[in-house]
Amino acid sequence: MFKDNNLPLPLRAEQNEAREFLTGLKAAGLIIGTDEAGRGALAGPVVAAAVSLTQEQENILLASKLNDSKKISPNVRENLFKKIQELGVPWRASMTWPKVIEKINILEASLLTMKESVNKLAKNFDSPPACVIVDGNKRIPDLNFPQWTLIKADELIPVVSAASIVAKVLRDRLMKILSDRYPEYDFKQNKGYPTKFHREAIKLKGLSDIHRETFCRKIIRGEK
């Protein structure tokens, strides 16, 4: 296992450079990728996933249009998630709800949720991961494994792309279920994000118990 504080892993990288670093990390042992979904939503939880891929699984998923979940259609995301399940890809997910998000802020909630996902997944292996690759520019606090924070890792590193797919699909499915409970906000379509319809619904109906109050203050006040 390498020591991440001694290895000059870049915060930003071009695709070829990122893949070269990834090849070196794979030689050191197990790699886990983690990402979150729902950070910018007005309602619902933030969901994070952690994934590990064999080279064969990675190749198959790349051939199936694996990419950052934000860059592909819902149908492609669902197909990729199905493929992840069919291939037996090991993954774990976690979520943090608005009440906790409001207490610790969305950044800390996102990092906490990724940490929980990574720790859940790591328990499934006989040896600890050589590296956890984290999408973004913030390290996961108190994570007991080496980590590489990389901006746009969700589009540069396949195992992080896979984590972004799992997190996004799980969250979207949950928001569709919640849409039946809160039909006035149309979560089935907007997934809790600040669409025009969702913003207008908040102005007319107020907040539900799964809204993030601090995220919605300007809307309630009628500010742009």
Q: What pLDDT, in 10s, does the model give residues 118-149?
A: 999 999 999 999 999 999 999 999 999 999 99
Residue 7 scores a pLDDT above 90: no
pTM of the model: 0.95
**Among the residues of 15-105, which ranges form H helices?**
15-28, 55-63, 74-86, 98-104
Assign domain 15-176 to a CATH class. Answer: alpha beta
Is 147 within 8 Å of 21 (Cβ atoms)?
no
DSSP 136-198: SS-PPTT-SS-EEEETTHHHH-HHHHHHHHHHHHHHHHHHHHHHHHSGGGTHHHHTTS--HHH
Of the pLDDT bands very low, low, confident and very high (cuts 50, 70, 90), residue 1 is: very low
Residue 70 scores a pLDDT above 70: yes
For the chain, the structural domain boundaries read 15-176
Residue 46 scores a pLDDT above 50: yes
Task: Kindly report, residue by residue over 153-201, the tens digit of the pLDDT.
Answer: 999 999 999 999 999 999 999 999 999 999 999 999 999 999 999 999 9
Cα maximum dimension of the chain: 56
193-224 burial, b if ≥16 CB within 10 A, otherwise e? Answer: bbeeebbebbeeeebbebbbeebbeebeeeee
Residue 44 scores a pLDDT above 50: yes
Tell me which of 13-22, 81-90, 169-178 is least confident. Answer: 13-22
Is 102 within 8 Å of 209 (Cβ atoms)?
no
Of the pLDDT bands very low, low, confident and very high (cuts 50, 70, 90), residue 109 is: very high
Mean pLDDT over all residues of the chain?
Answer: 95
Of the pLDDT bands very low, low, confident and very high (cuts 50, 70, 90), residue 224 is: low
Pick from 144, 96, 92: nearest CA to 121: 92
Is 66 within 8 Å of 81 (Cβ atoms)?
no
pLDDT score at 8: 73
